[in-house]
Amino acid sequence: MTGRSPVLELRDVHFRRGGRAILRGITLTVRAGERWALLGPNGAGKSTILGFCGAVSHPSEGTVDVLGSRIGRVDLQALRRRIGHVNPRHPLDSPLSATEVVLTGITGTVETPMRWAPQEGEVARAQEMLGVVGLADRREANWFTMSQGERGRVLIARALVIRPDLLLLDEPTTGLDVAAREQFLETVDGLVRHDPGMTSILVTHHLEELPETTTHALVISDGEVVAAGPVDEVLSTATISHAFRHPIEVMKHRGRWSARAGRGDGRSAEVP
C-alpha cells in the first residue's frame, strides 16, 4: 500500500479564523486505495480538514495537494468535479426522484439545473449506481418519501456517479437509527468490493460508525494530530482517551470498533 501514489497531502497545515487557531501543524498523506477515518471530539477541526480535502477552502499556512494539484494554484471548481462528497445535510427542497438526485452529482448542483437534460448514458450510469447501493427498486422514489437511510445511500450513489478519484463522507450516519446505520455501513463496505481501489475519508466522532473496510485513521484534538496511521495501530484506548479527555476503553469485535467508559490502562481490547 505504501508504494501507491498520494491522493491527498497536507504538510504542516495551520488554519486560523477570526484570529483563533483552528488547526495547528497538521500533516497527513492519503494514498490511493486507502480508506481513512478522521476522528476527534466536536470542535477538534475535522470539518476544517475535510474542507481542504474537498477543495473548498485554503489553509492559512502550509500546503495542501489534492489529486496532484496544489490548493491555491488550481481551478478549484474543476478539481471538485473529481471528488465525490456525501453530506447527510443535503439541502434539497424539490421532490426529485432518486435517479434525479443522483444525476445532480454530474452537474455538481443540489437542484436540477434549468434547461439541463441528462444524456441517455448518464441516466443509465445513475441507475447503475443506485443498484450498487442496493436501491435499484427505488430509482423513481420521491426524495421526501425516502427514509433517512435510503437518502444516505442515494447520496453515496450521487457521489459515485462522476467516478470520483476521492470519496469524502462527512458524518454520513447523522440522524440514522441503528438499523439504518448498519445498512449504510454495509453499503460502504460493499463499495470496496465493487471498487477495491477506492480512496475515501470518513469523518465521525463515533467508533461504532467505522466501516469494517477502514484501513487508516487520523485522530485529532484541539486542532492537532494525536495519532495517524494504520487503523489497528491508531485506535487504542490511550489515544482515544487522550483525544476525548476521558477514560475510554476501545474494543474491536469481528472487524467493528466500539468504545465505553474505560479502565485507563492504555490498551485496546480485541474481543474474540
pLDDT per position in the chain (272 positions), as tens?
Answer: 456 899 999 999 999 998 899 999 999 999 999 999 999 998 899 999 999 999 988 999 999 999 999 998 888 888 988 999 998 889 999 999 999 999 999 998 999 989 899 888 999 999 999 999 999 999 999 999 999 999 999 999 999 999 999 999 999 888 889 999 999 999 999 998 888 889 999 999 899 999 999 999 999 999 999 999 999 999 999 999 999 999 999 999 999 999 998 665 555 555 44
Q: Are 266 and 237 in contact (CB under 8 A)?
A: yes
d(CA 23, CA 15): 5
Instruction: State the alpha helices, DSSP H only, in the chain.
Output: 46-53, 76-80, 98-107, 120-132, 148-160, 178-194, 231-234, 237-244
| Domain layout of the chain by residue ranges | 90-164
CA atoms within 13 A on the CB side of 269: 13
Which secondary-structure segment (H or E) carries 27? strand 20-31
d(CA 45, CA 25): 12
Residue 3's pLDDT is 62
Which secondary-structure segment (H or E) carries 224? strand 224-230
Quote the pTM value: 0.90
SS3 168: strand
Q: Determine how β-strand 6-17 pairs with β-strand 20-31.
A: antiparallel
**What DSSP string describes 112-171?**
PPTT----HHHHHHHHHHHHHTT-GGGTT-BGGGS-HHHHHHHHHHHHHTT--SEEEEES
Q: Maximum distance among all alpha carbons in the chain?
A: 62
